[in-house]
Structure 1
Amino acid sequence: MGMPARLMEEKRKHPRTEINEPAFVSAGGSVMRCVVRNISPDGAAIDVDNPAFVPDQFRLVMAKDSSTHDCRVIWIREKRIGLAFLKSPD
């Protein structure tokens, strides 16, 4: 028997908030649409049409308020990508 998939979430420091918001993957002058499915202070999960075009590090730009997060890809499952937000130096 395999391990329950739910155990994976125990690594998160903060619970994720389920949302369904349009956003953009921005890197190297190119921009791609995505949808943010859930978000926390440390990261997010996004859905994209083609994960092959998403670089390892990029800026996530929220469509609603233009807020941005520098992030890196942690995992990819089909069209969903798990992201960790990179902390900006204070």
Structure 2
Amino acid sequence: MDEKRKHPRTEINEPGYVSSGGSVMHCVIVNISPEGAAIEVDNPAYVPDRFQLVMANDPSVVYECQVVWTKKTRIGLSFVAAA
């Protein structure tokens, strides 16, 4: 499979939160780069196409995200500019 990312991802395995429309769901941020990340969630069916990813260890760090792909409980994200 060809690598499509412009930047390599850094493995971090840190806790985070999927936040959208007032609801919050726990996730694990598996890896991250300047342009996106991959997260693990219990049930990807509850993750909206667009949401905010909040770093649990530093809640001041928030990314606007768009879902790019889903494989079982792992979701690939790209970071987008805030509307």
TM-score with structure 1 setting the length: 0.87
More helix by share: 1
Q: What whole-Å deviation, never above 9, does each CA across 1:37-84 have from its counterpart, x for those lacking one?
A: 000000000000000000000000000111100001000000000000
Q: Distance in 2 between matches of 1:88 and 1:31?
A: 18
Task: Write the distance in 2 (CA, Å) between the matches of 1:88 and 1:57.
Answer: 11
Out of 44, 60, 67, the position equivalent to 1:73 is 67
- The answer to whether structure 1 residue 83 and structure 2 residue 77 are counterparts is yes
Deviant stretches of 4+, over 6 Å: none
Return the alpha-carbon distance in structure 1 between the equivalents of residues 19 and 42 of structure 2: 15
- 3-state SS, counterpart of residue 13 of structure 1: coil
Aligned-residue RMSD, C-alpha: 1.1
Aligned residues: 82
- Number of the residue aligned with 1:48: 41
- Structure 1 unmatched ranges of 5 or more: none
For residue 22 of structure 2, the aligned residue among 17, 25, 29 is 29
Larger Rg: 1
Larger strand proportion, structure 1 or 2?
Answer: 2
